[in-house]
A and B are shown apart, each in its own frame.
Chain A
Amino acid sequence: MPGIFVYADTVEACASLISAAYGSARGVCALTFDEKRADELGGYGADKVFLLKGDNPMQESYAKAIAALLAKEGPEVFLVGSSTTGREIAAKVAMYLDCGLVGDISSLAFEGGKTITTRYIYGGAAIQTEVLDGYAVVTVPKGKFEARKYEGKTSDVITLKVESDNRVTLKETIPLEKDSKDLGAANIVVCIGMGFDKKEDMKIAEDLGRVLGATIGCTRGIVEERHWLPAGSYIGISGTTVKPSMYISLGVSGQIQHVVGIRDSKIIVAVNSNANAPIFMAADYGIVGDMYEIIPLLTEAIRDVKV
Chain B
Amino acid sequence: MAKIIACYKWVTDEADIRINSEGSIDFSKAKGKISDYDKNAIEAAMQAAQSIGASAVALTFGTAKAKLSLKDALTRGPAESFWVCSESAEKADGAATAKVLAEAVKKIGDYRLIICAEGASDTYARQVGPRIAARLDLPCITSVRGFEIQGDVITATRKLDNRTEVVKAGLPALISVLPEVNEAPIPGLKAVLDAGKKRSTEFKLQDIGLTDADVAPRTEVRDFKAYIMNRKNIIISADTNADKVKELVANLRKDGVI
Binding site for B on A (CB under 8 A): 58, 60, 63-64, 83-85, 87-88, 90-92, 94-96, 98-104, 116, 120-133, 136, 142, 165, 167-176, 181, 188, 212, 220, 223-225, 231-232, 237-238, 245-246, 256-257, 259, 263, 266-269, 275, 280-290, 293-294, 297-298, 301-302, 305-306
> How distant is the Cα of A63 from the Cα of B138 in the complex, in angstroms?
13
Contacts of B143 in A (CB 8 A): 84, 88
> How distant is the Cα of A122 from the Cα of B145 in the complex, in angstroms?
23
| Given A121-B122, A169-B167, A176-B163: A100 in contact with B258 (beta carbons within 8 A) | no
Contact of B220 with A131 in the complex, beta carbons under 8 Å? yes
Q: Does B64 contact A (CB under 8 A)?
A: no
Contact of B179 with A100 in the complex, beta carbons under 8 Å? no
Q: From residue A54, how far is it (CB to closest CB) to chain B in Å?
A: 17
Contacts of A188 in B (CB 8 A): 257
Contact residue among B19, B130, B225, B242 (Cβ-Cβ distance under 8 Å from A95): B130
Contact of B183 with A126 in the complex, beta carbons under 8 Å? no
Q: From residue A292, how far is it (CB to closest CB) to chain B in Å?
A: 10
> How distant is the Cα of A282 from the Cα of B235 in the complex, in angstroms?
11
Q: Does B191 contact A (CB under 8 A)?
A: no
Interface-facing stretch out of B46-54, B195-203, B246-254: B246-254
Contact of A246 with B258 in the complex, beta carbons under 8 Å? yes
> How distant is the Cα of A298 from the Cα of B232 in the complex, in angstroms?
20
| Given A287-B248, A301-B246: A87 in contact with B127 (beta carbons within 8 A) | yes
Contact of B219 with A131 in the complex, beta carbons under 8 Å? yes
| Cβ contacts A to B, 8 pairs, < 8 Å | A92-B130, A125-B14, A132-B218, A168-B141, A246-B252, A259-B229, A269-B252, A280-B233
Contacts of B218 in A (CB 8 A): 98-101, 132, 136
Contacts of A256 in B (CB 8 A): 14-15
| Given A125-B19, A294-B241, A306-B258: A130 in contact with B219 (beta carbons within 8 A) | yes
Contact of B248 with A298 in the complex, beta carbons under 8 Å? yes
Contact of A245 with B257 in the complex, beta carbons under 8 Å? yes
Q: Does B142 contact A (CB under 8 A)?
A: yes
Contact of A168 with B167 in the complex, beta carbons under 8 Å? yes
Q: From residue B171, how far is it (CB to closest CB) to chain A in Å?
A: 10
Contacts of B219 in A (CB 8 A): 100-102, 130-132, 136
| Given A95-B131, A136-B219, A288-B235: A125 in contact with B226 (beta carbons within 8 A) | yes
Contact of B95 with A95 in the complex, beta carbons under 8 Å? yes
Q: From residue B44, how far is it (CB to closest CB) to chain A in Å?
A: 14
